[in-house]
Structure 1
Amino acid sequence: MDSMSGWVMNRRELGLGVATASLALGAANASLAQVQVTVPNTIPPALDAQIGRLAQDIQPDVRKVYELTGGRPVWNAERLRALQDIASRAEHHALHAGDYFDFVGLAAQPDTAEVRSTAAALGYAKVLAHGRIAPETVEELWEMQKNSVDVASGLVGALNNNNLPAWFDGLAPQDIGYKNLSAGYIRYRRIARDGGWPAFAAGAQIEPGASDPRVPGLVKRLTLEGDISPSAATAMGNSAVYSAAVQQGMRSFQTRHGLGVDGRVGPATQRSLGASAEDRARQIALNLERRRWLKRDLQPERIEVNTAAAIMVYWKDGQPVHSNRVVVGSHANQTPSLERDFASVVANPPWTVPMGIARREILPKGPGYLAANDMYINDNGWVVQRAGPRSSLGYVKFELRDSYAIFLHDTPSKGAFNLSVRQRSHGCVRVQNAVEFARLLLAPDPTKLERFDTAQVSGDTTRVQTGRQIGVRLLYWTAFVDGQGRVAFREDSYRRDTKLARAMGIDVRLPEVVSEAPADKDDDWV
């Protein structure tokens, strides 16, 4: 059984384990009404020896718990029952309770049940608070602000205040994105347990009005995912006709998956249809893990770029107020997971070409190519492209502090924004309608906005400071809940799902990405 199946242990077994373990602990805990936090004392040698036999990564936290309680036991029957209820809700976080809690095993070894109960509680708490996997081990460049919780002190405080369930509930992210995605996970797991949806056989494209034997299975699949209503599906019956009603459901499916929305069942759509309900549930599990890595307190004004979806969302006062399509790094030149402050807007920016791009892709083409693209070599040997209509940065650049030369910018190549697969750049983020977005950011200060507008008219290179703190987060989320409350999926363009799944021991088979257009000439410069 892999780590994504067998989600909740049999409640009767849990109850028997709790009851037996509680009897073993009863004498020591009969008078324990509250864990008392004390000045750290020496832990009794027998207890310390048991702690030393635990996994090394959990020993410091377990030892801290007993230092804070003066070496006294902390578990009684009531608290173990609360821990059982907490374990039963692990599926809401796409976690397997049996990976953390072995109540039957506690009963089998009552002499060590106290310490192992503490270790189990802390291990599960750390996963909820920080995630199972260190993000740096599965991404080449991951520089986000991590969540940080002292789980040992938190557990003692929760026991002290008799609010163990509430404390555990608060460790996972509390934002609507995590909660909605968690609900989506439960839904897809239920679909998978009930047998999933009919497998889709890849083949010829299904055109509007055509008759195809795959249509009835397609209708069932779209109904299970919410793209077709049950009443509409009933009206369709078992018809093999790819009717207007089925096409409407398919457009909903295509929108959720970031595909070209044409109602036809072509190659890219067929590949997305190839994923099973179990695969999609497991993909959601990977993205819940990514969200657990991140700090919980977010800046109320921020820019978030989902590089898997190639979408940017601008948040103000804690609410999403604006979204744009973006073009992000290609598979070979991935946009990293990065969190930085937004510093300034630069109108009419010149582009200093990175040395690697200049050597590989520009200088070999000769002086004529440089001249044709408004480029020159400066006194320090760098290739520079002048500001203007041909500039690869377009008419505005959004500077980030200390961002490895990764930034957001305009582009003269607007056509890529119309593609569904927009992983095409050298790593920077091209923003659709970038000048209008810059004006939106500067609008709170009319003076700054006027400076920017004046520069746009004159063509002068002008840096305008925002004058306030705006965060930028470059994220990689292949499963998320969209503005209509539906679970949306994106294919694993950077293969990061594959790597994370391997680290978590999850067997998931995701569709390959299908791009509808090759990269244009010089399309991936920046």
Structure 2
Amino acid sequence: MANSILLTLSYRVLIVFCSLTYASSSFAMVNNDEFRISLINSLSKNSEIIRFYQDNGFQPLWVGNERKARERRSYFFKELKNASKHVLPALRYDLNYLKRQAISAKSSSDFGLAEALISIKFIEYSSNLQTGVLKPSSVDKEIVRKVPYRTTTAYLEKIRSVSPADFFKGIQPQSKQYSLLLQEKRRLEKIIAQGGWNSDLPGELIRPGDVGDKVILLRNTLIKRGYLERTSSDVYDGKLRSAVQLFQLRHGLAPDGIAGPATFSEMAKTAQERLASVLVALEREKWTNFDFGSRHVIVNLPDFSTKLFENGALIFETRNVIGTPIDEQRTPEFSDVIEHLITNPTWNVPKSITLKEYLPEMQKDPSAHDYLELIDLDRELVPRDLVNFNEYDEDTFPYDLKQFPSITNALGLVKFMFPNQYSIYLHDTPSKPLFDLEVRAFSHGCIRLQKPFEFAYELLKPQTEDPKTAFNDAIATGEETVVYLRKPVPVHLIYRTAFVDELGVINYRRDIYGRDAAIYEALINAGVQAESFSS
């Protein structure tokens, strides 16, 4: 018995001795000139990472047998294994190669190389997770968003000072949109794995009261997509109509309860196509991975909507009209700050519109657009009958066009200014019937609001007890008046064809400018693994 106990104790002592010897050896391996030289040479093209190690005495983050280094390395490798969860190009991070380098390291030089390789991939992965895989403007020049890129040093300092779990959870987008879009991604992937939801669709208009095979096709489509409970009815009854209306609302269609071409077009979208929209939306969420502000405006272009939020709650929304889907008229994507309102605005016609649209028309008929005034280089008014428009072309026309304040002014009675190089702003319009349309892309790029007065009241609420009177008094002057916001309001022009509404429900919209299709293709080319558009 005594010999058995002695043998056990001796074995434990041997294990402790070997562990201490290994730890001591491992510590020595990563704390000598050979390790440091190898690390620097392996990071020769990454001067910022080298500076971090210099500033921290070349203490390793990933290699060696120190507990925190082991934890970081293990957690990071687990992150890379699940990279596709966040729509990231898993193969780009060379997980298996990194593992082999870390496991097979025997010399200080080996450890230096492994440390460098892991740090390089750590920076790349962290940046991709936090701010996206793609550079927005490289996909579409009209996505002029300023992505909030972080520095290499910031990532390295942070992972050194907090747990790896807190680090990676902290850098991914924290928005409700992101977390619920991830849920939708998993749901669609499951549907695709089960064969998708493809079903035959009717070829003719279906209205409430209809019966027969075409109603059965519609019924089955809605059941498969989760909009209707199972039923054997072949009648277009109230329940079926409600399901159609709900589908229409969640896809940006007029909820008239009549199933026609537009409704069937959206129903025909496959689970793969919807997944593509979700993957793009997740990438876009990374581009806007910053604080939108406690009080902010969101203009979602494909949704044709403008919404004002305060402390996470929707407090105002209105329909809008956005830029026409042709070159130089599509509304760009960017964030800025609404600084002031201008009531009774003058419309200074952009030069591009003057030369490409109005000049040719005035050459045919000098009285065309007679509500616009000619302004010369001295900023003086020039009577039209003194000008021969046919003497000029786009390169030589010396006049500007201007429309003075009036109820028929193209900008209406108010515009909301966030000065920017793209000359984009929100404004009123006399063309009210356009807001009744389903697809509202008719402007030259600026955003027209259906309810601009109500929007103005909400913006002015924080600075006056009676915003309605204050605003209407400015309108009543009939003169152009600047009304400054004491606290400017951030405004974000975004483009989401897949998004979560205020009730936490996923919605889909048409890719009106084709931007999401281009982003999806770019993601696939970058190595993101996903189902293709076609089923």
Q: TM-score range by the shorter chain?
A: 0.7 to 0.9
SS of the equivalent of 1:122 reads helix
Is residue 2:336 matched to residue 1:340? Answer: yes
Counterpart residue identity of residue 405, structure 2 = A
Give runs of aligned pairs for residues 177-256 of structure 1, distance below 5 A.
177-201=177-201, 203-211=203-211, 213=213, 215-216=215-216, 218-228=218-228, 233-234=229-230, 236-237=231-232, 239-256=233-250
Name the CA distance, whole Å, in 1 between partners of 2:25 and 2:468. Answer: 70
- 1:325 aligns with 319
Counterpart residue identity of residue 342, structure 1 = I
Per-residue CA distance 1:5-51 (angstroms, 9 max, x = gap): xxxxxxxxxxxxxxxxxxxxx96798669x99xxxx99633334444
Structure 1, unmatched stretches of 5+, are 1-25, 512-526
Mapped contact 2:335–2:493 kept (Cα < 8 A): yes
SS of the equivalent of 2:519 reads helix
Which of the residues 406, 423, 429 maps onto 1:388?
406
Name the CA distance, whole Å, in 2 between partners of 1:160 and 1:117. Answer: 17
- Cα distance, 1:404 vs. partner? 2.2
Per-residue CA distance 1:353-378 (angstroms, 9 max, x = gap): 1122123333424343333xx22112
- Cα distance, 1:491 vs. partner? 1.1
SS of the equivalent of 1:370 reads coil
Is residue 2:118 matched to residue 1:94? Answer: no
Is residue 2:505 matched to residue 1:486? Answer: yes
- Cα distance, 1:159 vs. partner? 4.2
- 2:9 aligns with none
Give runs of aligned pairs for residues 89-488 of structure 1, distance below 5 A.
89-95=82-88, 97-103=90-96, 106-107=99-100, 110-111=104-105, 113-161=114-162, 163-201=163-201, 203-211=203-211, 213=213, 215-216=215-216, 218-228=218-228, 233-234=229-230, 236-237=231-232, 239-332=233-326, 333-363=329-359, 364-365=361-362, 366-371=365-370, 374-380=371-377, 381-446=399-464, 450-488=469-507
Deviates more, 1:104-113 or 1:262-271: 104-113
Name the CA distance, whole Å, in 2 between partners of 1:276 and 1:182. Answer: 18
* Identity between Structure 1 and Structure 2 (%): 28
- Cα distance, 1:220 vs. partner? 4.9
Per-residue CA distance 1:35-69 (angstroms, 9 max, x = gap): 99xxxx996333344446xxx6xx45654564446
Deviates more, 1:326-335 or 1:459-468: 459-468
Mapped contact 2:60–2:115 kept (Cα < 8 A): no
Per-residue CA distance 1:138-184 (angstroms, 9 max, x = gap): 121333342232345434542454x1021011111112122222222
Per-residue CA distance 1:431-466 (angstroms, 9 max, x = gap): 111112112212333387544312323422222111
- Cα distance, 1:79 vs. partner? 3.6
Mapped contact 1:86–1:165 kept (Cα < 8 A): no
**Between structures 1 and 2, the one with greater helix share:** 2
Mapped contact 1:312–1:325 kept (Cα < 8 A): yes
Counterpart residue identity of residue 245, structure 2 = R
- Cα distance, 1:290 vs. partner? 0.9
Q: Cα gap change, 1:91/1:186 in structure 2, threshold over 3 Å: closer, same or farther?
A: farther
Mapped contact 1:340–1:403 kept (Cα < 8 A): no
Name the CA distance, whole Å, in 1 between partners of 2:27 and 2:157. Answer: 14
Q: Cα gap change, 1:370/1:330 in structure 2, threshold over 3 Å: closer, same or farther?
A: closer
SS of the equivalent of 2:309 reads strand
- Cα distance, 1:106 vs. partner? 2.8
Counterpart residue identity of residue 376, structure 1 = E
Mapped contact 1:144–1:339 kept (Cα < 8 A): yes
Counterpart residue identity of residue 360, structure 1 = K
- 2:62 aligns with 74
SS of the equivalent of 2:196 reads coil
Per-residue CA distance 1:176-213 (angstroms, 9 max, x = gap): 12222222222222222222212344622333333454
Counterpart residue identity of residue 99, structure 2 = L
- Cα distance, 1:289 vs. partner? 0.5
Name the CA distance, whole Å, in 1 between partners of 2:90 and 2:218. Answer: 34
- 1:22 aligns with none
Mapped contact 1:303–1:313 kept (Cα < 8 A): yes
Name the CA distance, whole Å, in 2 between partners of 1:153 and 1:29. Answer: 30
Mapped contact 1:340–1:472 kept (Cα < 8 A): yes
SS of the equivalent of 1:392 reads coil
Name the CA distance, whole Å, in 2 between partners of 1:102 and 1:215. Answer: 52
Structure 2, unmatched stretches of 5+, are 1-20, 64-68, 106-112, 378-398, 525-529
- Cα distance, 1:99 vs. partner? 4.2
Mapped contact 1:198–1:217 kept (Cα < 8 A): no
- Cα distance, 1:103 vs. partner? 3.1
Counterpart residue identity of residue 373, structure 2 = Y
Q: Cα gap change, 1:213/1:49 in structure 2, threshold over 3 Å: closer, same or farther?
A: farther
> If the length of structure 2 is used for normalisation, what is the TM-score?
0.78
Name the CA distance, whole Å, in 2 between partners of 1:208 and 1:30. Answer: 80
Q: Cα gap change, 1:196/1:30 in structure 2, threshold over 3 Å: closer, same or farther?
A: farther
Name the CA distance, whole Å, in 1 between partners of 2:204 and 2:35. Answer: 70
SS of the equivalent of 2:367 reads helix
> If the length of structure 1 is used for normalisation, what is the TM-score?
0.80
Name the CA distance, whole Å, in 2 between partners of 1:29 and 1:215. Answer: 76
Larger Rg: 2
Q: Cα gap change, 1:193/1:450 in structure 2, threshold over 3 Å: closer, same or farther?
A: same
Q: Cα gap change, 1:220/1:156 in structure 2, threshold over 3 Å: closer, same or farther?
A: farther
- 1:47 aligns with 39
- 1:522 aligns with none
Name the CA distance, whole Å, in 1 between partners of 2:456 and 2:294. Answer: 18
Q: Cα gap change, 1:86/1:428 in structure 2, threshold over 3 Å: closer, same or farther?
A: same
